[in-house]
Structure 1
Amino acid sequence: MKQIKWVLLVYAILSAFCMMGIGVAIGERSIIGGISCIVLLVLVMGFGFKTKKKMRENGQL
């Protein structure tokens, strides 16, 4: 049975919330909200991929 990698799960959930935030910002016609959600999405996904790479290099995946 595989172990759940909680850190990666948190990054995935935060990324999903950022994607939903983009949709809400479009619905509200908020340019600032949309841009901020896109920036947050890029940052969160970047940290997630960086963490996954480190875990793979350390043999934790």
Structure 2
Amino acid sequence: MKNIKWVFVLFSLLALLSMFAIGISVGLRSVPGILASILLLIVVMGFGFKTKKKMRDKGLL
């Protein structure tokens, strides 16, 4: 339990929620919702990878 990096858990949950939002938007046939959800997914995953690189460079991983 002590090796858990909670910031990455948060990023993964946000990415999962945005993937759910894509599916819901497809079901509702909402093009703006689909595009917003895809953009949110890209942003969240980008921040996650950026954070991972910074932590790896600092020797925290």
Normalising to structure 1: TM-score of the pair? 0.96
> 1:1-61 alignment to 2 at 5 Å?
3-61=3-61
Runs of 4+ residues over 6 Å off in structure 1: none
- RMSD between superposed Cα atoms in Å: 1.1
CA distance in 2, matches of 1:2, 1:48: 20
% identical aligned pairs? 52
CA distance in 1, matches of 2:6, 2:58: 16
Normalising to structure 2: TM-score of the pair? 0.96
Tell me the amino acid that sits aligned with residue 48 of structure 2.
Answer: G
Q: Identify unmatched segments of 5+ residues in structure 2.
A: none
CA distance in 1, matches of 2:2, 2:60: 12
Q: Identify unmatched segments of 5+ residues in structure 1.
A: none
